[in-house]
Amino acid sequence: AQSVAQPEDQVNVAEGNPLTVKCTYSVSGNPYLFWYVQYPNRGLQFLLKYITGDNLVKGSYGFEAEFNKSQTSFHLKKPSALVSDSALYFCAVRDMRVTTSGTYKYIFGTGTRLKVLA
């Protein structure tokens, strides 16, 4: 079954400390992986993606993510957290099964609330 898991409902980190938001996936074949951030009362904003190539992907706002094929993980990281990073983070994977109409679906994780403490 194609799936993505975010094992932590909430992550708390002090401002200035490094942060990690975890994501693991289960798909057949090579995964297309994404991270999105959602600030309160806003839509989802694309942060970064992994399709192929370097395992370390750099994205917006100083975020990066590390693709680990052996551990089937795609953890989101940032070297120094800001209070303004506090938001809801979603990991997503493209379902590798194409529908009969030739369209792909995306599977979202349940989300992790990041709280950065001043």
Partner 1 sequence: DTEVTQTPKHLVMGMTNKKSLKCEQHMGHRAMYWYKQKAKKPPELMFVYSYEKLSINESVPSRFSPECPNSSLLNLHLHALQPEDSALYLCASSQDSGNTIYFGEGSWLTVV
Tell me the number of residues near partner 1 by CB under 8 A. Answer: 25
What lies within 8 Å, CB to CB, of 18 at 6+ separation is 77, 78, 79, 80, 81
What lies within 8 Å, CB to CB, of 42 at 6+ separation is none
Residue among 12, 30, 45, 84 that touches partner 1 (CB under 8 A): 45
Determine the interface stretch with partner 1 among 11-19, 23-31, 75-83, 94-102 (rule: CB under 8 A).
94-102
Q: Does residue 5 belong to the site contacting partner 1 (CB under 8 A)? A: no
Residue among 1, 29, 43, 118 that touches partner 1 (CB under 8 A): 43
Residues 42, 66, 30: CA angle, nearest 5 degrees: 95
Could you tell me the smallest distance in angstroms from the CB atom of residue 42 to partner 1? 6
